[in-house]
Structure 1
Amino acid sequence: MTKKTVKLYQRPAGGWGGLKSVAQHIFEQGIPAKGARTLLSANQPDGFDCPGCAWPDQDHTSTFEFCENGAKAVAAESTARRATPALISAQTLAQLTLRSDQELEGMGRLTQPMQYDAASDSYQAVSWDAAFTLIASRLNALASPNDAIFYTSGRTSNEAAFLYQLFVREFGTNNFPDCSNMCHEPSGFGMREAVGVGKGTVQLADFHVTDAIFIFGQNPGTNHPRMLGELRSASKRGAAIVSFNPLRERGLEKFQNPQSPIEMLSGGSTPISSDYFQLKIGGDLAAVKGMIKYVLEADSQAQAEAKPRLIDLEFIADHTANFDAFMINVLSESWAVIEIESGLSRAQIIRAAQIYLNAKSVIACWGMGITQHKHSVATIQMIINLLLLRGNIGRPGAGPCPVRGHSNVQGDRTMGIYEKPRPAFLDKLGAVFDFSPPREPGYDTIAAIEAMLAHKDKVFFAMGGNFATATPDTEVTHRALRNCALTVHVATKFNRSHLVHGREALILPCLGRTEIDMQESGPQAVSVEDSMSMVHLSSGINAPASDDLLSEPAIVARLAVATLQQRSKTPWLWLLADYDRIRDKIAAVFEDFADFNQRVKVPGGFHLRNRAAERVWETGSKKANFFAHAVPVDLPIHRARLSQQQPVFNLATMRSHDQYNTTIYGMNDRYRGVFGERRVLFIHADDIAQLGMQAGDWVDLQSLSDDGVERIAKRFMLVAYNIPRACLAAYFPETNNLVPLSSFADFARTPSSKSIPVLITPHVAAGSGV
């Protein structure tokens, strides 16, 4: 067991620490030879796509195309451990509930379908046929198809997602909550309004020629480690890299490339950020608007002095709408408000704006530090405004780059996993498969929880993920799931969601990304789409963890046959026999996938058309739209501070370095210097002193919300950290219960997990008598 310690990490990200961690996780999973062989097939032309993040691959030909956290994901999936029905049924669910999330998943790979047995309070083995029959009977007994909810994780392949959405729509509902609802929904919503496309417009080649990269609310060292390779290359050739982040993150400071013999042997490293601005949590909109204000003021001065203009007037005139109203709004914004709400000085904001002005081409990247706020959509549109000012969309080295998490979360949405489908898509889907798709919008994640909470006897089906742990307002979400008549989870490992079940419950074990998928026509490959719209194949190389595992497409196809029976004209089992047939159907529905099978079999795959990158604007105005947004001064944090006499802090939830989404690989957060403990609270040293406490003290957190409900997370250790005053950070899912279900991004409804008003009080141990 790792000793609980906190110490400053002074080494660069990556390097020997990363390689040591990879080796450690491979040995912990009992697969030294298999693990090394498997890793060498990650992100290769004839191998599998890493089940970790969605950062694109450089060329699909490197012999070393994985990162530390990707290696952890591969090792965890390839583990020698097996979570058999015998192992799981040896304890009651009440007993299993007491185990940590890491211990639950650490039992290993699931091997057989299992059904909850209420009499013994345990899961017992069940046959696939019996499982499909049970699900089909419960679905068909519902009063309405809308009483069923179908969740989707971002790890699902294009082929599985396409079949899944087809089955659910043939069943009769658009209830498709998915992980996008909890992460990058504001990116899609904000960008579609602004430029007509909900995806980034850049490709990896743009990082090779850009003059400046602005990074907002993102920690690539932990969440997208392979991105550090691109940032390192850009830094070495002199590109400016400007980071906006409340915390000092090691991966944004310096990086030692494990593939560089010189850096590894010499102990050298490469600086990443040329400038690092530690703004307040949620202060990005104010900071970016301040940059724009300076640019417009400097441009006005240049115009008065008969000097060259600083904004791209030709681009603005030809390609944008609403500029004049937007300019008036920006120039009227107070510098005082901008400084207070951003947490940056006017000089710092001007410094960032000058870097922007000096760059001929600019890329803007962002992560969930931007998307999980009440004002996320407005912030993203302000970033787009910044790019539009100087024509930084639709040309080399420039454009927006939302960096998504799961390896196919973007592809799932492309395949139609969306609760508000476009009518044109439904028309085409119905024509190709000869049925009438439902038109009524379905539930997103927040609405799904609300529906399950308000109405009993829903059926909840999850294609992957760990819904009970990933979602906000933990106690409320758990109560909602327990209201269900049936909960079903497709999974590779046992997790917390399997313990938070309906009256009936099933676990359906599936193949992992690393495993051979054998169907009637032979071994199959699936396709995935990365953050930059590259679509490529993924082929497993390992024998399945159990002979009883089914692929996700097989689970969907067999469930569709059992549920829809003669109502469906779709040849489900014929499609399943050869995934090329599924891809042909995808091509028939989506014009951008024409000749899908031919194009995807080229090493590296192909790039989906992005019309905004071509300066074709599919918006209502047929142009890119400037959006005016005031710097917010009435957010939950503002209201909470007005209502309290004691200090109110703004808490952001985040991952540790030994974590991917809800999967906990270990108890260490190496880059932040925390070892052996997850219940920690990162806080400025002066704030600790103001509270009359010391680093290492244990505290409780109470969130403050407009609904008046008391939400408390207990026993967190104070860790002094380089973070702005009155700002806090802690890991999720330990702090998810502090996020009210009603607190979400305007328009996009993403939980506001990066801005939670909280109070800090000393923790009093139970039975202490104090």
Structure 2
Amino acid sequence: MSKKEQEQPAAENPEKLLHLKITEQKHWAAGIPAVKVAMVDIIQEAGFVRGMEGLFKMNKKDGFDCSGCAWPDPDDDRSPIAEYCENGAKALAEEATTKKLTADFFVRNSVFDLAKLNDYEIGKKGRIAEPVYLPKGATHYQPISWDDAFKKIGDKLNSLPSPNEAAFYTSGRTSNEASFTYQLFVREYGTNNLPDCSNMCHESSGVALTETIGIGKGTVTLDDFYDTDVIIIMGQNPGTNHPRMLSALQKGKRRGAKIIAINPLHEAGLMGFKNPQTVKGILGIDSHLADLYLQVKINGDMALLKALEKLLYQAELENPGKVFDHEFIQNSTDGYEAFLTSLKRYDLDELAHEAGVPLAQIKEAAEMLKDKSRIIVCWAMGITQHKNGVDTIKEIVNLTAIKGAIGKPGAGLCPVRGHSNVQGNRTMLIYDKPSPKQLDKLKEVFGFEPPREHGYDVVESIQAMHEGKLKVFFAMGGNFLSATPDTVYTAEAMRKLEMSVHVSTKLNRSHLVHGEEALILPTLARSDKDEINGEAQFITCENSMGVVQMSKGMLKPISDDLMNENQIVCNLAKATFGDRSVVNWDRYAMSYDAVRDDIAKVIPGFEDYNQRVRIPAGFYLPNAPRTGKFENKLNGTKIGFAITELPKHDIAADEYRMGTIRSHDQFNTTLYGLDDRYRGIHNERRVIFMNEQDMRKAGFKSREKVDLFNYYGGVERVARLFVVVPYNIPEGNTATYYPEANVLIPIDSVAEKSNTPTSKLVFIKIKKHEGV
């Protein structure tokens, strides 16, 4: 082995630039360009026949659920043309690709050499076609049989002094059935170390909503968008992250709804929408969306919400009983007087300054809300990934509570989930902090004593790896390294593991930064036909609005050596427990129906699961707040008004606020391409968007090369070789793409209570690049 091959591969994307091209920012999303881009992608990767076969079944009642975002499908009729968006087609292209990686590929390519590629290049190599193993000290992955792979993992788990020395991660793509058997295996093994992607996205929503309304989910249905008065969209970019939401916004607007958009960047998908399934959209006529666009500073949302509440309170004083819903406040809330006392402390001019929005615009928003009670508030990562993320969501609840805008048609709370079954994972008990009631039910049904001690979440898992407390890391999907914060720290942590295992469809950077031993277990994708004993099977998923429906893949898998996730769990359990298990894993492995029958015994709302999920479009899970019933530990059967504080930011004169964002050509850590055409960025990802005034003050020019620094906790974190791009963003604010800028997100900068990394706000210094 050469000295070079013994070196550890890079933890991050290579610090090199491509060939940036900048075009004018778009003011509308979708349209014919989206159709063209999607078709090119699907044909290049899957071919015309295979690609079209998949597209015509995506998100249909008898088809498969898109592996992208969790936006719900219509309950009634679905589009006969395309019940998917541009990025949904790109997601299908990724998994339906005919390119595959066999043993020969891994013989030709060392881990070190693969790590020199950027994430886009790694992901485009193709589907992993057989299990592979990286022995201790080896430079290349090599083929391994499924039986030997399970034996290695099982033996390793059995050798650990404590089950708590292993952690079991889950991405949002995992089905309800595999999630349930996965958590069952992990708890019978003896730990609650079940970190999942929720920890990094909507954990703040779950915590805030559980403490206020009694359930960690939203309260609206898709139909509510079609019959409402005002839709507020905060910290969310639906044009890129949830494109099918644009159709719902357009439909609601045509029926009279007003839209208030709140975001530090002017995003195309909030300004206009050219629906390619309408004549106007085909002709290039866009539907204007946002009636009012409030361009807040990064993390200025709390100040904005308080300003709105204060203005509405003033209007209520002028017209008693006409602005606030006092019947709702009296019957369904607690702590109203304390809330008002707290609100009176704030000065409107100061709140507007902290929000970064002119007071006149905030007054305009208050006017739009004053006489309305059918209000929907939507939010995503721009709200949750802050230190005060939980409190900001509680303030959103405060706003809906004073208006009585919750628990009735056309009104409510809508955290928009980012991954297609991330909400279902949590419903299936993928959680590091299960309740005693949930654990008691597992014990009652299965007869073993599940562990009661809380486990590690994502951030705690990384810290435990670093401290040598975790020896084995098992990931059910995802690209853990690229999704998590503080990339260098996380890579150092993962390299301290004795074994890392990834259940994956495609190669990613997490396979290249590994423990002493590493395995990749290739699994079926959503669109793949899943057959057991020659019979086609289906899985189930839960969307953002609590609908559980079937998903039935129909494309021929690219390899005969793939295994579905549920069978991977069952075989791992057999290899680990032998005859010790109280669970009939063979029964589960051969029948999704058997898994669903037992889910029905354990989890409320899944009674008659197998019968109800076979009804086209599935069924809604119980949601008490949707019907105006609230129950939480702090306030009993009422919503508790939260007393929150404005965040305080100590920013040095030469520091900037930075938030990480997606490009339009990516979904989470999967890069479909190198363009962000709505923002006018092409063939480059190492860019930093800056206000032109800030650029002039600092002496930066457009396209200038810079290095980015974060000094949180006295540690220097560096992201080198970025290109400055002038953009419409508030002064003192910047934006960068992830995962390239994740190296700047401190591991210990997290949201209070939810422990979510603060990826939407870190403070950076920008210096001219040192080097060629």
TM range (shorter): over 0.9
1:30 to 1:544, Cα distance in 2 relative to 1, 3 A: closer
Q: Distance in 1 between matches of 2:101 and 2:130?
A: 9
* Equivalence map 1:67-216=2 (5 Å): 67-216=85-234
Q: Does 2:729 align with 1:723?
A: yes
Q: Displacement of 1:715 after TM fit?
A: 1.0
Shift of 1:87: 0.7
Q: Which residue of 1 aligns with 2:706?
A: 699
Q: Deviation of residue 632 (structure 1)? A: 1.7
Residue 651 (str. 1) matches residue 666 (str. 2): no
Query: What's the CA shift string for 1:467-505, capped at 9, x where partnerless?
Result: 011000001100111111100000000110000110111
Shift of 1:654: 0.6
Match of 1:396 among 409, 414, 417: 409
Amino acid at match of 1:701: L
Cα-to-partner distance string for 1:609-656 (whole Å, 9 max, x where unaligned) = 1011122212122211110112122xxxx22x2xx4x42100000100
Mark the runs of 5 or more structure 1 residues left unpaired by the alignment: none
- After TM superposition, give the deviation of residue 236 of structure 1 in Å: 1.9
Q: Take 1:713 and 1:248, find their aligned partners in 2: how far apart are those partners? A: 25
Contact 2:322 / 2:371 at 8 angstroms: preserved in 1? no
- Deviations, residues 36-55 of structure 1 (Å, cap 9, x unaligned): 12111000111100000000
- The alpha carbon displacement at 1:346 in A equals 2.0
Residue 135 of structure 1 deviates from its aligned partner by 0.3
Q: Does 1:561 align with 2:568?
A: no
- C-alpha separation in 2, matches of 1:538 and 1:175: 28
Kept in 2: contact 1:12–1:254 (CA 8 A): yes
For structure 2, the 5+ residue unaligned runs are 1-16
- Which of these residues, 13, 32, 53, is aligned with residue 29 of structure 2? 13
The alignment's TM-score, normalised by the length of structure 1, stands at 0.96
Shift of 1:337: 2.9
Task: Supply the AA of the counterpart residue of 2:622.
Answer: R
Residue number in structure 2 paired with 1:626: 641
- 8 Å contact kept, 1:279–1:342: yes
Q: Is the 8 A contact 1:510 1:551 kept in 2?
A: yes
Partner of 1:544: 557
- Pick closer, same or farther for the CA change 1:457–1:291 going to 2, 3 Å: closer
Maintained 8 Å contact 1:745/1:751:
yes
Distance in 2 between residues matched to 1:24 and 1:684, nearest whole Å: 34
Mapped partners of 1:227, 1:199: distance in 2 = 18
Is 1:290 the equivalent of 2:297? Answer: no
Provide the aligned length of Structure 1 versus Structure 2.
752
Alpha-carbon offset, residue 457 of structure 1 = 5.8
For 2:20, give the aligned amino acid. Answer: K
State whether residues 164 and 470 of structure 2, in contact with CA within 8 Å, keep that contact through their aligned partners in structure 1: no
Tell me the residue number matched to 2:697.
690
| CA deviation string 1:115-144 (max 9, x = no partner) | 003454010000000000000000001010
Separation in structure 1 between the aligned mates of residue 695 and residue 103 of structure 2, nearest angstrom: 48
Q: Which residue among 54, 57, 65 is the counterpart of 1:41?
A: 57
Q: Distance in 1 between matches of 2:449 and 2:192?
A: 12
Deviations 1:36-87 (A, max 9, x none): 1211100011110000000000136322100000100001100010011211
Q: Which residue of structure 1 lines up, in the alignment, with residue 720 of structure 2?
A: 714
Q: Does 1:662 align with 2:669?
A: yes
Measured after TM superposition, the shift of residue 456 of structure 1 is 5.8
Q: Distance in 2 between matches of 1:435 and 1:673?
A: 57
Residue 591 of structure 1 aligns to a residue whose secondary structure is coil
Percent of aligned positions that are identical:
47
Counterparts in 2 of 1:435-454, with a 5 A limit?
A: 435-454=448-467
Alignment match, 2:10 = none
Q: Structure 1 residue 340: deviation in Å?
A: 2.2
- Report if aligned partners of 1:651, 1:727 keep a CA contact under 8 Å in 2: yes
Please tell me whether the aligned partners of residues 150 and 177 of structure 1 are also in contact (alpha carbons under 8 angstroms). yes
Quote the Cα distance in structure 2 between the aligned partners of 1:391 and 1:12.
33
The CA deviation at 1:521 is 7.2
SS of 1:566's partner is coil
Letter in 2 for 1:28: Q
Cα 1:456/1:376, change in 2 over 3 Å? closer
Map 1:457-472 onto structure 2 (within 5 A). 458-472=471-485
**Which residue of the other structure, out of 740, 756, 762, is the alignment partner of 2:762?**
756
Distance 1:491 1:672 in 2: 31
Deviations, residues 145-185 of structure 1 (Å, cap 9, x unaligned): 00000000000000000000000000000001100000000
1:224-269 per-position Cα deviation (integer Å, ceiling 9, x unaligned):
000000011112222100000000000000000011023213x211
- State the match for 1:741 in structure 2: 747
Equivalent pair of 2:593/2:610 in contact (CA under 8 Å) = yes
Q: Whole-Å Cα distance in 2 between the matches of residues 419 and 16 of structure 1?
A: 44
Mapped pair 1:357 → 2:370: yes
State the Cα deviation string for residues 708-761 of structure 1 (Å, max 9, x = none).
000010111111111101100010000000011010101101000100100111
User: Partner residue of 1:415?
Assistant: 428
Q: Report how far residue 331 of structure 1 moved.
A: 1.4
Partner of residue 13, structure 2? none
Shift of 1:302: 2.2
Aligned to 1:218: 236
1:164-563 residue pairs with structure 2 within 5 A? 164-265=182-283, 267-303=284-320, 308-455=321-468, 458-520=471-533, 522-563=535-576
Cα contact 1:44–1:60 (8 A) shared by 2 = no
3-state secondary structure, aligned to 1:350: helix
TM-score, normalised via structure 2 length: 0.96
Deviation at 1:2, TM superposition (A): 8.8
SS at match of 2:218: coil
Which secondary structure state, in structure 2, belongs to the residue aligned with residue 567 of structure 1?
A: coil
Q: Distance in 2 between matches of 1:11 and 1:312?
A: 37
Between 421-430 and 611-620, report the one with greater CA deviation.
611-620
Of 719, 732, 744 in structure 1, the residue corresponding to residue 738 of structure 2 is 732
SS at match of 1:468: helix
1:228 partner SS: helix
Structure 1 residue 520 displacement after superposition: 3.4
Cα distance per residue 1:393-450 (max 9 Å; x no partner): 1000000000011100000000000000011111111111111110000000010001
Cα deviation per residue 1:688-714 (whole Å; 9 max; x = unaligned)?
111112111111110131x10000101
Spell out, residue by residue over 1:360-397, the C-alpha distance to the aligned partner (whole angstroms, 9 max, x if none). 30000001000000000010000010000011110000
Contact 1:80 1:108 in 2 (8 A): yes
> What is the CA–CA distance in structure 2 between the aligned matches of 1:196 and 1:105, rounded to whole Å?
40
Distance change >3 Å, CA 352–CA 457, structure 1 → 2: closer
